Amino acid sequence: MLSPSSIDPVGMDPTAARPWHPIPIVENGEPLLTLPPQLWRLEPHPYVALGAPYGPGQSPFQLRSGVVEALQQAQQLLQEQAPRWRLAIFDGWRPLAVQRFMVEHTVAQQCQVQGVDAAIASPSLEAIVNEVGRFWAAPSPNPCSPPPHSTGAAVDLTLATAGGEPLAMGGEIDAIGPISEPDHYGTLAELDPSGAEASWHHRRQVLAAVMGAAGFAQHPNEWWHFSLGDQLWAWRSGHASAHYGRIGQEGLD
């Protein structure tokens, strides 16, 4: 069994720029808030269950105050469009230590699935690290290139029934591969409008639509990831600057 600690996430090259990294951050100082009861949480939280190193008082169900307000707006828009559905929050703020832990865990998991020795440098290991890097931001300590979740601006979420049961979306949150791309089922949905793929594609479109209407920007590789106010949001929305930087253990960096 591979140990996550045997993987060095620095192999992801945290200095390699994402297209949004050149965007400046003008921190506005908004605090992290705990999600209100009106926003459904998917619990138990999977990273906590894995042993991710959240410190005292740290919770994945926290986001910047402006992001919480926008999420509540998205929830209202969703219920106007689909009264039997609700947003279901999978993950919010992620300390840098948790980002590092989850990158290590995901690379180790993919190595195990593909039968690759994570302790030996190889083209296969490099391919896994690169593919994981399409979905997981490197745990860079550089304040100019923070992982989106470390800013309190990014949220991973899905759709659920009114009772909180997650809907099938054609792929699990955090799945590595093309299945996670927002429009993965678009062509199949056109070919067979009555098939399961069409249902999954429709649900992904509904989620993207209500989040976009509330001001969020979607990650280009992940149907579940949306952010508001960070560099990725600024890049996708055409804003000159981001207004949320990384939040460390002691507060804003």
Q: How far apart are CA 224 and CA 169, in angstroms?
A: 9
DSSP assigned state of 240? S
Residue 217 parent element (H or E): strand 217-218
Question: No. of H helices and E strands in the chain?
Answer: 7, 9
CATH number of 4-11+23-169+176-252: 3.30.1380.10
| Calpha distance 147→235 (Å, rounded) | 14
- Total residues belonging to the chain: 253
Could you give the residue numbers annotated as active site?
Answer: 222
Q: What is the pLDDT of residue 252?
A: 67
CA distance 45 to 65: 21
Say if residues 40 and 160 touch (Cβ distance below 8 Å).
yes
Hey, where are the domains in the chain?
4-11+23-169+176-252
Taking the model in full, what pTM does it have? 0.92
Question: For position 4, what pLDDT does the model report?
Answer: 35
Res 222: pLDDT: 98
The Cα 185–Cα 93 span in angstroms is 29
pLDDT in tens, 225-253: 999 999 999 999 999 999 999 997 656 66
pLDDT digits (tens, 9 = 90+) for 91-134: 999 999 999 999 999 999 999 999 999 999 999 999 999 999 99
Q: Specify the residue for token string 């509540």.
A: 72
Q: Is the pLDDT of residue 12 over 80?
A: no
**pLDDT-derived band of residue 57, with 50, 70 and 90 as boundaries?**
confident
| Helix-strand-coil split of the chain, %, nearest 5 | 40, 15, 50
What's residue 248's pLDDT? 78
